[in-house]
Structure 1
Amino acid sequence: MTFVLWPFVFLIVGIALCAFIMNRSGNDPRERVLFDTAVSDAKRWTDHLGTQLSGLTGKDEASRQALADANERHDAAQNALAYAQAPDEVRAARNAALEGMHYLNAAREIMGMATESPLPKLRGQLEAGRVGEERMIRQDDGPTLLASPMPSVSTPHFYPGGAVAGRPVPAGWYSDPWWKPALVAGTWAAGAAALSSSVYAEAEEDPRKKMESASGSGGGSDDWSSTPSSGNATFDNESRGGWFGGFFDGDGGDGGGDGGGGD
């Protein structure tokens, strides 16, 4: 009786094994290709950033700070790539490299050097907008923040604009890099969260920005400039679609190469 059952056991095991192999061959190759392509693109931008930073030194506090931030983003991209095992981790590496490129462009512009453009947009950069004129943001129980569209002794810290811990930070030059703790921790401290709301309130309440957000055209062309009203704005995390969650951010995933941004 036992010998009679063995052929059926082998048959069942064989069918299960074939199904497993077919399932892997049907899904894994496509996902692997997507993953490898994403890694290659992130590495291309990371290597390109490193090449452009090589031997470059700042001429004043603002350019030195922007270059320091670009180098920090390059290190972050390299570290993320070294341990990346999932699409989110690869996306984080690529985004860090692109942030570094924006910092590098800011430094080169200050020093009167050619910049590399257009660069792919960062996540949330269009929605965050940019600083339109010098302004002072006073907090009832916190520090006073200066923001400007141009660097100065009072505003030596650049931010390229984008979403930090789910909150928008407009592009511009600031007196203090108040967004950095959230970049490291992934969350805002209470004071920084309130400051983020105050900084962004004017752009959030701009009717043109609301219209553009509703139509999906983005608000990167709008400056915010006047003193914001009191109260906290409402922030929504960006939606991400597809297996790679919008990894290429609509820019087609084009690589940096070593040809742009030359001296």
Structure 2
Amino acid sequence: MVNTSTFFQHFKQSRFEYDDYHIGVNRASYGNPPSYCFTSNVTFVISYKMSLTCRIELAVTIAVVIVSCVCGMKIDFTRLSHHKRSYYIPQKRGSECSGNPCPVDKPFLCKTSSTCIALKYVCDNTFDCEDGFDEEKALCTAVSRPPIEQLFNFLTAEQDWIIPKLFGGVEPEFAAHGLAVASDIDDLSMTLGLSPQNVKNLHKAFQAAMEGDERPLLAMNMPERSWHEVQYMLQQLLDSGFKL
């Protein structure tokens, strides 16, 4: 056990010159004891003239403080759960843009210019944006698909079975993005890096939805109560142009 009082007595009695030591500390503010402590953000840079014994005691004391910080204080992550998950959607405009400057009658803003166009001219097989953004394949596919938030919520609700069986264990937000922009199963497989078994299961799942036969999906561990929601969502994807 380190005798901290003896150490600090030695420390106070030690005489230093300003150019003989530098102490840099990057730490959280003091006050009432916090409910968290991040020791990785604490950096001590100490260089000064003192006895070997005092240096050893200083090193041990710092170690004791770090250990007590790690073991004696809890880390409060509860506030992190209140942050809303951000969906995996490519940014349409640069980070310097704080909002859509387009008028309400021309709300679509081109990607690399300030050109605004009406929605009826988006995905009409005519390039109205100089960069061609209004006719991008992924964009035009997503226009006809269920909203990505709806896809994400569906996949999250069914993720215990549908993510490993159909989507290779990827995060639901990535699977939702893939379903929103992929033109067919091959495109989806390439986007998400699916295995041949995943692709086979996807074919079975969509075929089951079209035929109204829940048995292939039950064999994939789908809960029976989920059938109607799963069939509805898969049919929505097919109706929006997703091809097998």
Superposition TM-score tier, normalisation by shorter sequence:
under 0.3
When Rg is computed on C-alpha atoms for both structures, the one with the higher figure is 2
Q: What TM-score results when the alignment is normalised by the length of structure 2?
A: 0.23
Structure showing greater relative contact order (alpha-carbon pairs closer than 8 Å, 6 or more residues apart) = 1
